[in-house]
Chain A
Amino acid sequence: MDFSLTPEHEMVVRMVRDFAEKEVAPYIKEYDRAHKPFVRAIERMAELGILGICIPVRYGGQGMDYISLGLACEELERVDTFLRVVMSVHVALNSLGIFQWGTEEQKRKFLVPQARGERWAAFGLTEPGAGSDVAAISATARRERDVYILNGEKMWISMASLAHNFLVFARTDPKAPPHQGITAFIVEREMKGVTTGDIHGKMGIRAGSTGWIAMNDVEVPEENRLGEEGEGFKIAMSCLDNGRYTIGAGATGLIRACLEASVKYAHERRTFGRPIAEHQLVQQMIARMKRDYEIGRLLYLRAGWLKNQGIRNTWQTSLAKWFATEASFAAASDAVQIHGAYGYSDEYDVERFLRNAKGACIYEGTSQIHELIQAQYVLGYRQDKPLRCELPPYDPEEWQREA
């Protein structure tokens, strides 16, 4: 067993941290206050290759491993959640989905420009009436010769108004059992009948875009169908295994942000004649943050290691996501508490951390769904079945091959 990061990982961490600290941290409050998507930051992530970090070089990516993806997410969310959300939808939910399930032509056509950051990607699963209950989606895809006609609305979609490509799930067989009649499609913004918009009034993640996608008789060619007809549910679940990984890693970064801010403030602020760091009940909150940071980190790194090995990691990833998101909300709440009245104002970052933390306890499986998943595995009600296409294990030589 080896708990150490490689020198490569350490350099990735430093590079992503430098970017987030220099180019995002000084401006984030402004965008968050204005509810304005920080588009320039995403463009920079594209330029720096972060949007293709763990995609093989021959598909336009940077050829790093899945652990690098997690480490990058930790560093990004340490500065702001919206940065990590971009990684979750663009890299994990969409690009890795195409990498896992796509044909060679689809990888050439869609994955390459996405990995290069030339086209941004989103994931359209949730609907106004279907979140945790994925099989209840009502968007439809009707086959007509060599095209599918898509209709329906997707809701709470990160990057909805910014992405170029959407991985959308729609029902192709209304008569099939709910889990079996769903199919995945790559919908492009330029297709006639696609409209998008942003949702306003969100509690947090205000520097990112969250919105809706409406599809009105959108003609999607057959070559844009990802996987086989009826395979959509399995594809969606495998994408979530990667999305949740980035969330777990990101939430761990958010805990670290809370911890760092709290330690700094606890040393500065004095009450009753001494720094509040010397008060035991403040120490307790800080100790809990430290504990949760370390646990969150071990959990997501194990999931990343499993991905590198090509071993299914559904429960491990679910555990990492469930634990770290709940812990990040608790850490942010305690960080506000430690900052006292100042923490309640946006003069300090911690109130933003608290608002941002809540979202991840809801999306990509609510905490309650993850509790059920854990129980089902332990009780033997749920087992992983082999998939037609598994996420490829990390192979440095293969991933860094030019062509």
Chain B
Amino acid sequence: MHIVVCTKQTPDSAAKLTVDAAGNVSWGDSPIVINPWDEYAVEEALLIKERLGGNAKVTVISMGPEAALEALKHAIAMGADEGIRIWDPAFEGSDTLATSYVLAKAIEKMGDVQLVLFGKSAIDSQTGQVPVEVARRLGFSPLTYVIKIAELDPAGKSITVERLLEQGRQVVKAPLPAVVGTIKGINEPRYPSFMGIRKATRAQYPVWSAADIGADPAKVGAAGSGVRWTRIFPPPAREGKAEIIQAETVEETVRILVDKLMAEKVI
């Protein structure tokens, strides 16, 4: 079974983002890391491979410039088999529509992919749109907010997952191939192993260009994007005040807290 995990490189979650007057976003000298949500997707792919007795191949792909290597390296160090970077200067300025086109073309090129895993969203842009867009383009079953892969039957070509929704858990059975958007809680991502780190730093990471994946130039980059950024600005700093409730007893403290929460219509 061939599993593809789509990853993205993002600034470290501790990075301080700044936006200048021209709308340029900077995260200073913060390191570039694998999108933290993607670690769950990589882990899930590795768990599936282990469940299948190793009878699966996990390929990690990332659309991005040189910095995208960090995400691929991290995934290989965790145990993925292969990492492919998909990049072409023509991809610059892609929105989710163009990105999903590129990713779908790359997955199509591989030919035998049964399962595509994503993190729920990227911590930088937080759209969460790419998984469903890729599923739509490939005609794969779109399964998002997945908290558990309950059953996977490559021979019978079916997958059963539990989706965590605001209303509760929804169990969905769908035909393979499928795109699965994982969420936090589906597993506990492993750390890279030392052996994996060595493998990751020595691995070859092929780069697939627009021509390699047979992408139509009109559908990639800014030309293929539907979104136009009219203005980029930092949101105003959130203001808040802390109040410490101190009463004689815990019960009394709780009573005051509950009254206040009710008065504020929080509960």
Contacts and interface: CB of A to CB of B under 8 A. Distances in A.
Contacts of B30: none
A63 interface: yes
Interface stretch (B110-118, B123-131, B196-204, B236-244): B196-204
A51 to B, nearest CB: 11
Nearest to A48: B191
B194 A49 contact: yes
Given A7-B73, A11-B73, A11-B77, A53 B191 contact: no
Q: Which of A15, A18, A53, A400 has the most CB of B within 10 A?
A: A15
A144 interface: no
B193 interface: yes
A271 interface: no
A49 B198 CA distance: 13
B198 A15 contact: no
Interface in B163-193: 191-193
Contacts of A12: 194, 197
B245 interface: no
Contacts of B198: 8, 63, 400
B267 interface: no
B191 A15 contact: yes
Q: Interface range on chain A: under 10, 10 to 19, 20 to 34, or 35 or more?
A: 10 to 19
B250 interface: no
A280 B28 CA distance: 25
B166 to A, nearest CB: 28
A242 interface: no
B195 interface: yes
Nearest to B12: A14
A15 B201 contact: no
A18 B191 contact: yes
A4 B193 CA distance: 22
A133 to B, nearest CB: 39
Interface string B199-221: 01100000000000000000000
B195 to A, nearest CB: 7
Contacts of B193: 48-49
A383 interface: no
Interface in A37-61: 48-49, 53
A53 B194 contact: yes
Main SS of the interface on chain B?
helix
A7 B72 CA distance: 13
Nearest to B78: A15
A48 B31 CA distance: 23
B213 to A, nearest CB: 27
A161 interface: no
Interface in B234-258: none
Given A11-B200, A11-B201, A62 B195 contact: yes
Contact of B192 (A15, A53, A64, A400): A15
A11 B191 contact: no
B201 A63 contact: no
Interface string A80-108: 00000000000000000000000000000
A6 B201 contact: yes
A19 B193 CA distance: 12
A7 B73 CA distance: 10
Contacts of B31: 14
Nearest to A52: B194
Nearest to A12: B197
Nearest to A22: B191
A11 B191 CA distance: 10
Contacts of B74: 11
A11 B32 CA distance: 12
Nearest to A61: B194
A12 B73 CA distance: 12
Contacts of A48: 191, 193
B181 to A, nearest CB: 24
Interface in A370-386: none
Nearest to B195: A62
Nearest to A54: B194
Interface in A236-289: none
A63 B196 CA distance: 12
Contacts of A15: 77, 191-192, 194, 197
B191 A8 contact: no
Contacts of A18: 191
Contacts of B33: 14
A7 B201 contact: yes
19 contacts: A7-B73, A7-B201, A8-B197, A11-B74, A11-B197, A11-B200, A12-B197, A14-B192, A15-B77, A15-B191, A15-B197, A19-B191, A48-B191, A48-B193, A49-B193, A49-B194, A49-B195, A63-B194, A63-B198
Given A11-B197, A15-B77, 19 more contacts: A6-B201, A7-B73, A7-B201, A11-B74, A11-B77, A11-B192, A11-B201, A12-B194, A12-B197, A14-B192, A15-B191, A15-B192, A15-B194, A18-B191, A19-B191, A48-B191, A48-B193, A49-B194, A62-B194
Interface of A: 6-8, 11-12, 14-15, 18-19, 48-49, 53, 62-64, 400
Interface of B: 31, 33, 73-74, 77, 191-195, 197-198, 200-201
